[in-house]
Amino acid sequence: MSGNDDLLDDEATDAPGDEWENLDVADTAVDRTARQQGREFSKFRERIKDADQFKVEGGVFDEATLRALYSLVQGGHIDALGGPISTGKEAHVFLASAGEHDVAVKIYRINASDFTQMRQYLEGDPRFDDIGGKKKKVVLAWTRKEFANLKRAGAAGVRVPDPLAVERNVLVMEFLGSDGVRARRLGEVEIENPETTYEVVREYMRRLYDAGLVHGDLSEYNIVVHDSQLWVIDLGQAVTVHHPNSREFLERDCENVANFFSRQGLDTTGDELLAYIEREAAPRED
């Protein structure tokens, strides 16, 4: 893998501050839309539930999710839903078309999401103070949190999928791949220039930190190679630097990244990466 030298020359746009986004998890107009257009929604629901490519495990397409998808179709964000790109414990990602472009549709599973796993990223985050322990509200807020985190990371000069729309537990974003095939993860490719690749990842981590974010689960499995560039994905669990566990998460990210590049032959450690990020980051006003 090569061709990332130009990344380090890109000037990040003005990074947003360390303010808290207001994550509104109140019910939207989705239910009303479905009721008002009951016949069309019923046809849509049967088409999804009868299609072989959507017969995935875990009850992904429950009634609320179908209403969210229908609203996104009505809003012009999705034209047609394709097959699954990836499946996980908390979410499935599907290919979809939107006009002449492919998009990725990430559906968080309200009933099957690992609420216990999510908890470590939610406790201490004031954006979730009023949500309590209701799984539905947590998952809806988590989805909006990923949308907000992608926006913030992109504004900070980090290549991430462009978030396009969010409705309830469904996130529509830019598809990274070609001809319906997802881009490969960093751990799935042969890296031609480990040193340059490491410099790009290190710079991305610094830019995230400057923007007040810590990824919280960064590794070779959520960095992908697309158009000969590196992109960071899966920012749902990312926390702000004021989160009580942000330092622990940053240390873990640094350890994961450094261990991967050590296996590629580079002489680096998690402590060295952490020191670089904190040393090169812009001064922060607490």
Catalytic residue numbers, as ranges = 217, 234
Please state, in angstroms and as integers, the Cα–Cα distance from residue 188 to each residue in 156, 174, 180, following that order. 27, 21, 18
Q: Give the bridge partners for 231, in sequence order.
A: 224
Q: Give which of 229, 242, 161, 237 is closest to 201, Cα–Cα.
A: 229
Backbone phi, psi, residue 104, to 5°: -105, 135
List the strands of the sheet with 229-232, edge to edge.
Answer: 184-185, 223-226, 229-232
DSSP 35-101: HHTHHHHHHHHHHHHH-GGG--TT--S-HHHHHHHHHHHHTTS-SEEEEEEEE-SSEEEEEEEETTE
Query: Which pair of structure tokens corresponds to residue 144?
Result: 């909006």
